[in-house]
């Protein structure tokens, strides 16, 4: 694409939220939100299916949730790139619709009267609505967007978001972390350097991220949060107060009908929002009793009730800061995101706790979309002096012989990242190699997560260890991984773009890292054993090859001696005794080295000493 074409393209920023979604664009006067025809900016991220199979999106769909819960899909973002077990564990009965397992994988699907939808398809319906809104507001077609995701989204969840955009006919030019977008919206960019805490308390989730900005480069240093803590929980605390009041007016065994419960929930949310502006709030609840129940709540009582939940968010902030290795005093800026940060107590406590004046000037529901539009503007050729970088949450690498995990790109590398390493074959005349790509922090692939596999075919038959297989990992700015392998002598090449089969939650990433620390010693020993076994096998193969050469001037006695050594080496390599195997490898290595020096030319010496990391032989190999 030429610079000119790029500068003409319309690129919008989209905040694809769990509860609401919205779009923004940078115009002549700076970033602005794109409104729907009725003036509303927020599009509820809800899709409802009608009897004729068609669907509606947004506010109308949200209203249908009460009457048609099984046909109305909300919070689909929680299902993106997730397998069914993860969803069942975390969401269990919170979703009114049915979530089932896909036929051909472990992934979660949404079941509407027997028709299965992927979370990507449902998200695409929401994105389609956002796109239509933007096109109406701009009077022009929109084909490209920058879409935000939580900082803890892994490769699978980001890829699912990208796929959703594709289904909606949008090219996701960039997937940007929500906290990074929020910081961008506040212009905390090139002019400042330092640490930014982004505190995001929405309707259903709480996220805190620690960003480091250096010379215009944003890096997410740590994230923490709770996927089930937010404004909805505050609503439920008020519902409890209301129910206590209602119970004084009805018989003790009377039950409250579901519609009335839903009404109470909505009223509770209204009360909560009023309490952000006034000291008390009141409402009348009509339960078809003689007279409506009058209910009043003071801000003080509300604050006492929600205080433990806010304290929990503060604890998360400190844990993120600890993870990032930052003292609270070293925080430069605090950005508030999400509707629930309008609650005065939330602001007070965060401000006091972090000791910084908060950024609350922008609408906390819109700040992420505004930031996304700034990134969109950068990509469409507007602003040029800003670079966004994120980090890779878990190390990436491949399986080598014996099941060892060879890491090419380590955890916390900034993206885009590139790494190349040289490998070789482990079996003579191996004409194809399977490259198994893994993600994780442990030493053996059995303890890591497989991301994908592909085959490099057409290698000319050569002795084991001779092919030079170059493996390159490239993680692009969106975190998409491309693995390429190339045999240098024959120039055959193969590659894959990794689309991981299921996602990991932030807690799982944490667990993986924690486990790698806990298991470090065991892993080290297991890896040591694998490497020693490989060394023993290499030594044995090389020696046997040399022994088989007719021109070798070995005496019968020397041959017999080497055969005895080889048998001993083989049996030790099958066992578990690391110390003995190491001693034998060292001794035998010295012995063959001496033999090589004595009797053989350079090429054969190399044969005995070849020590390149070897790839596992392909299972299809004859
Ligand atoms: P978000 O997920 O960021 O859209 O935030 C939605 C949450 O913010 C919901 O729980 C809303 O009830 C809550 N919210 C919106 N406005 C206010 C307000 N003025 N005071 C308290 N909570 C609010």
Q: pLDDT tens for residues 342-358? A: 999 999 999 999 999 99
SS3 assignment for 542-602: HHHHHHHCCCCCCCHHHHHHHHHHHHHHHHHHHCCCHHHHHHHHHHHHHHHHHHHHHHCCH
Asked whether 202 lines ligand 1 (CB < 6 A), one says yes
Q: How confident is the model at residue 293 (pLDDT cuts 50, 70, 90)?
A: confident
Instruction: Output the CA 83–ligand 1 centroid distance in Å.
Output: 29
Asked whether 20 lines ligand 1 (CB < 6 A), one says yes
In terms of Cα–Cα distance, which of 336, 255, 614, 298 is closest to 464?
Answer: 614
User: Which atom of ligand 1 has the smallest separation from the CA of 231?
Assistant: 10
Instruction: Output the CA 393–ligand 1 centroid distance in Å.
Output: 30
Output the pLDDT for position 372: 95
Question: How large is the average pLDDT for residues 288-295?
Answer: 81
Question: How large is the average pLDDT for residues 51-73?
Answer: 91
Instruction: Output the CA 245–ligand 1 centroid distance in Å.
Output: 24
In terms of Cα–Cα distance, which of 419, 420, 431, 368 is closest to 392?
Answer: 419
* Percent of the chain's residues with pLDDT above 70: 89
Cα Rg of the chain (Å, integer): 30
Q: Is 546 exposed, middle or buried (0-12, 13-18, 19+ CB in 10 A)?
A: buried
For residue 602, pLDDT beyond 80: no
User: Which atom of ligand 1 has the smallest separation from the CA of 230?
Assistant: 10
Instruction: Output the CA 546–ligand 1 centroid distance in Å.
Output: 75
Output the pLDDT for position 584: 92
- Could you tell me which residues are beta bridge partners of residue 146? 13, 174
The terminus-to-terminus CA distance of the chain in angstroms comes to 47
User: Which atom of ligand 1 has the smallest separation from the CA of 277?
Assistant: 19
Asked whether 334 lines ligand 1 (CB < 6 A), one says no
* Percent of the chain's residues with pLDDT above 90: 49
Beta strands 469-475 and 493-498, pairing class? unpaired
Q: How confident is the model at residue 302 (pLDDT cuts 50, 70, 90)?
A: very high
Which residues lie below 8 Å from residue 560, measured CB to CB, with a gap of 6+? none
Instruction: Output the CA 168–ligand 1 centroid distance in Å.
Output: 28
DSSP tag of 67: H
Q: What is the CATH number of domain 520-614?
A: 1.20.1270.10
Per-residue DSSP letters for 461-493?
P--TT-S-EEEEEEE-TTS-EEEEEEETTT--E
Is 391:219 a contact under the CB 8 Å cutoff?
yes
For residue 50, pLDDT beyond 70: yes
Asked whether 44 lines ligand 1 (CB < 6 A), one says no
Question: Of the listed 86, 129, 163, 178, which one is catalytic?
Answer: 178
Instruction: Output the CA 203–ligand 1 centroid distance in Å.
Output: 6
Confirm whether 91 is a catalytic residue: no
Of all protein residues, whose CA lies closest to atom 14 belonging to ligand 1?
339
Output the pLDDT for position 469: 92
Asked whether 274 lines ligand 1 (CB < 6 A), one says no
Instruction: Output the CA 255–ligand 1 centroid distance in Å.
Output: 29
Q: Rounded to whole angstroms, how far apart are CA atoms 170 and 131? A: 8
Q: Rounded to whole angstroms, how far apart are CA atoms 392 and 154? A: 9
Confirm whether 200 is a catalytic residue: yes
Which residues lie below 8 Å from residue 49, measured CB to CB, with a gap of 6+? 55, 71, 72, 73, 112, 113
Output the pLDDT for position 157: 87
DSSP tag of 118: -
How far from 62 is each of 16, 49, 57, 95, 229, CA to CA, in Å?
16, 11, 8, 13, 21
Question: How large is the average pLDDT for residues 202-229?
Answer: 86
In terms of Cα–Cα distance, which of 138, 153, 98, 120 is closest to 10?
Answer: 138
Q: If DSSP codes are grouped into helix, strand and coil, which group holds residue 201?
A: strand
**Per-residue b or e along 463-483, where b marks 16 or more CB atoms closer than 10 Å to that residue's CB:** bbbbbbbebebbbebbbbbeb
> What topology is assigned to 396-502 in CATH?
Substrate Binding Domain Of DNAk; Chain A, domain 1 (2.60.34)
Instruction: Output the CA 231–ligand 1 centroid distance in Å.
Output: 6
4-27 pLDDT, tens digit per residue, is 344 457 999 999 999 999 999 999
Q: Rounded to whole angstroms, how far apart are CA atoms 263 and 63? A: 12
Q: Mean of the per-residue pLDDT values for the chain?
A: 86
Output the pLDDT for position 102: 86
Asked whether 365 lines ligand 1 (CB < 6 A), one says yes
Q: What is the CATH number of domain 11-230+305-391?
A: 3.30.420.40
User: What interhelical angle do 602-609 and 578-599 show, nearest 10?
Assistant: 170
Asked whether 479 lines ligand 1 (CB < 6 A), one says no
How far from 63 is each of 74, 126, 262, CA to CA, in Å?
11, 16, 11
Of all protein residues, whose CA lies closest to atom 16 belonging to ligand 1?
339
Q: Rounded to whole angstroms, how far apart are CA atoms 85 and 100? A: 10
Provide the 10 A C-beta neighbour count for residue 603: 7
Pocket test for ligand 1, best of 22, 182, 203, 281 (most atoms within 8 A of CB): 203
The dihedral built from the CA positions of residue 361, 365, 368 and 369, taken in this order, carries a sign that is negative
Output the pLDDT for position 190: 53
Whether domain 231-304 has CATH 3.90.640.10: the reply is: yes
φ, ψ of residue 50 to 5 degrees: the values are -90, 170
Confirm whether 15 is a catalytic residue: yes
Question: Of the listed 163, 189, 200, 443, which one is catalytic?
Answer: 200
Instruction: Output the CA 167–ligand 1 centroid distance in Å.
Output: 30
Of 204-208, 589-593, 594-598, highest mean pLDDT? 204-208
Pocket test for ligand 1, best of 200, 271, 273 (most atoms within 8 A of CB): 273
Is 426:615 a contact under the CB 8 Å cutoff?
yes
Asked whether 221 lines ligand 1 (CB < 6 A), one says no
Pocket test for ligand 1, best of 62, 338, 340 (most atoms within 8 A of CB): 340
Output the pLDDT for position 329: 94
554 is written with which tokens?
Answer: 């070995």
Question: Of the listed 77, 272, 407, 605, which one is catalytic?
Answer: 77
Output the pLDDT for position 199: 98
φ, ψ of residue 144 to 5 degrees: the values are -130, 150
In terms of Cα–Cα distance, which of 330, 335, 306 is closest to 318?
Answer: 330
Is 313:201 a contact under the CB 8 Å cutoff?
yes
Lookup result for tokens 């996304």: 372
517-569 pLDDT, tens digit per residue, is 777 778 888 888 888 898 898 888 888 888 887 777 778 888 899 899 999 99
Residue that wins the pLDDT comparison between 476 and 61: 61
User: Domains of the chain: which residue ranges?
Assistant: 11-230+305-391, 231-304, 396-502, 520-614
Q: Rounded to whole angstroms, how far apart are CA atoms 153 and 388? A: 16
């Amino acid at each position: 694409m030429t610079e000119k074409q790029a500068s003409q393209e319309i690129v919008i920023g989209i905040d694809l939220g769990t509860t609401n979604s919205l779009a923004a664009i940078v115009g002549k006067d700076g970033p602005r939100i794109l409104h729907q025809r009725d003036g509303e900016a927020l599009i509820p991220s809800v899709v409802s299916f009608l009897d004729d199979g068609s669907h509606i999106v947004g506010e109308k769909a949200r209203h249908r949730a009460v009457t048609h819960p099984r046909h109305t899909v909300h919070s689909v973002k929680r299902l993106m790139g997730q397998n069914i077990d993860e969803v069942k564990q975390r969401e269990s009965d919170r979703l009114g619709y049915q979530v089932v397992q896909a036929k051909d994988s472990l992934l979660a699907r949404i079941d509407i009267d027997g028709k299965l939808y992927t979370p990507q398809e449902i998200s695409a319906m929401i994105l389609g609505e956002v796109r239509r809104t933007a096109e109406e507001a701009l009077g022009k077609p929109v084909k490209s967007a920058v879409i935000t995701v939580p900082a803890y989204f892994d490769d699978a969840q980001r890829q699912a978001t990208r796929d959703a955009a594709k289904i909606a006919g949008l090219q996701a030019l960039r997937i940007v972390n929500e906290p990074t977008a929020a910081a961008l919206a506040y212009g905390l960019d090139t002019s400042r350097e330092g640490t930014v805490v982004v505190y995001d308390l929405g309707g259903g989730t709480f996220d805190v991220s620690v960003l480091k900005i250096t010379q215009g480069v944003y890096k997410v240093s740590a994230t923490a949060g709770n996927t089930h803590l937010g404004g909805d929980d505050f609503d439920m605390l008020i519902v409890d107060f209301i129910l206590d009041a209602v119970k004084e007016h009805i018989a003790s065994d009377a039950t409250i009908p579901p519609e009335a419960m839903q009404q109470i929930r909505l009223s509770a949310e209204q009360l909560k929002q009023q309490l952000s502006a006034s000291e008390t709030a009141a409402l009348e609840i009509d339960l078809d009793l003689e007279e409506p129940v009058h209910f009043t709540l003071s801000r003080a009582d509300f604050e006492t009730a929600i205080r433990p939940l806010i304290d929990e968010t503060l604890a998360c902030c400190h844990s993120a800061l600890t993870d990032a290795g930052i003292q609270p005093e070293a925080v430069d800026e605090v950005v508030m995101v999400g509707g629930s940060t309008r609650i005065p107590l939330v602001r007070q406590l965060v401000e006091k706790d972090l000791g910084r004046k908060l950024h609350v000037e922008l609408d906390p529901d819109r700040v992420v979309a505004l930031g996304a539009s700034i990134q969109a503007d950068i990509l469409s050729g507007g602003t040029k002096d800003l670079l966004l970088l994120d980090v890779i949450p878990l190390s990436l690498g491949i399986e080598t012989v014996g099941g060892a995990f060879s890491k090419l790109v380590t955890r916390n590398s900034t993206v885009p990242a590139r790494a190349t390493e040289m490998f070789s074959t482990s079996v003579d005349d191996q004409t194809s190699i399977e490259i198994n790509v893994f993600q994780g922090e442990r030493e053996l692939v059995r303890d890591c997560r497989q991301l994908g596999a592909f085959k490099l075919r057409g290698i000319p038959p050569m002795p084991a260890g001779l092919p030079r297989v170059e493996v390159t990992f490239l993680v692009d700015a969106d975190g998409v991984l491309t693995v390429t392998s190339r045999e240098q002598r024959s120039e055959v090449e193969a590659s894959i773009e990794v689309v991981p089969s299921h996602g990991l939650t932030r807690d799982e990433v944490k667990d993986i890292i924690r486990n790698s620390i806990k298991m470090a010693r065991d892993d080290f020993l297991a890896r040591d054993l694998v490497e020693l076994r490989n060394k023993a096998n290499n030594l044995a193969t090389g020696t046997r090859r040399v022994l088989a050469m007719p021109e070798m001037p070995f005496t019968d006695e020397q041959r017999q001696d080497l055969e005895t050594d080889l048998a001993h080496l083989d049996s030790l390599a099958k066992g578990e005794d690391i110390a003995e195997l190491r001693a034998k490898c060292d001794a035998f290595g010295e012995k063959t080295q001496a033999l090589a020096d004595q009797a053989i030319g350079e090429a054969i010496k190399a044969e005995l000493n070849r020590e390149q990391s070897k790839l596992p032989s392909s299972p299809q190999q004859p």
